[in-house]
Amino acid sequence: MGIFSGCLLASDIDGTLMTEGKVPARNLEAIQRFQQEGGLFTIATGRSTKAVLPVFDFIRCNCPAIVYNGGMIYDYEAQQILYERALSSADKRLCAELVPSFPQVGIEVHSGSRVYLLNRSAESDWHEAYERITPTCTTVEAILDQPWNKVFFALDREETFDDILRLAEPKLRESGTSYIVKTYATDRGSTHYACEQMPAGVNKGTALPELARLTGAEPGHVFAIGDYYNDVELLAAADVSAVPVESPEALKRDADFICGSCAVGAVADFIEYIESKL
């Protein structure tokens, strides 16, 4: 038994656990100690199962991970899907309408461990390199029979998110089977914006209680940290939540603890906070 026995800590990746493609040394040291003292540490990310692998160059999860923004819980040790949700046929038809309307936007379909590229762009090229994924170029029609966990839009500029939402919103309201959420990552001093089409009712927050049940985390000992709008539900679902100081004000207002910046070790700050409250 250790100090953190019974604790489950889920962390977002980009802008929370790591920045500029690296995990701060303070985070690495704190996570290692958290695990050694009995805590379960994992990630809760929009990334696909394969795109999480670069993070394991730095740190390993010692329990299953939340991927696809909550669309899947994946056990990397057993290489097994424990929970999964996918987009509907109506969502696939909406994607088919969006592809020709935004030729400047890189569009990927993520399906299990596979990634399909519908539109190539400079931003999708960056995304492939950043997450170390190798997509297969294809069309919507060719993959209609595959399960789609999410559609990823690598935006040419931040404002394109509003353009996509304006075109998609009537269809989203009509079908009610999916939604589109904005996200980003920072690399070499540049911010890269994206948005993702997800199944309705699926987010990191819906997956966290399921993960807590699967891992046997103690009631009141489920912790989460994230930095952006796709982390809102994750933070709300945790018993105690935290955000890095550079997070949007809306997230900071609702968080239980505000850490230092991602670059200096926000996750380490949170682990120290958790220990002070146990």
List Cα–Cα distances, 95 to 102, 166, 225, in angstroms: 11, 14, 31
* Tens-digit pLDDT string for the chain (278 aa): 899 999 999 999 999 999 988 999 999 999 999 999 999 999 999 999 989 999 999 999 999 999 999 999 999 999 999 999 999 999 999 999 999 999 999 999 999 889 999 999 999 999 999 999 999 999 999 999 999 999 999 999 999 999 999 999 999 999 899 999 999 888 888 999 999 999 999 999 999 999 999 999 999 999 999 999 999 999 999 999 999 999 999 999 999 999 999 999 999 999 999 999 99
Strands (E), the chain: 8-11, 40-43, 65-67, 72-75, 80-84, 106-111, 114-119, 136-137, 150-154, 178-187, 190-199, 222-225, 240-243, 257-258
Token pair in block for residue 137: 């170029």
Token pair in block for residue 7: 């604790």
Distance from C-alpha of 236 to C-alpha of 134, rounded to nearest angstrom:
34
> What's the one-letter identity of residue 63?
C
Cα 215 from chain centroid (whole Å):
19
Nearest CA to 199 among 164, 168, 175, 167? 175
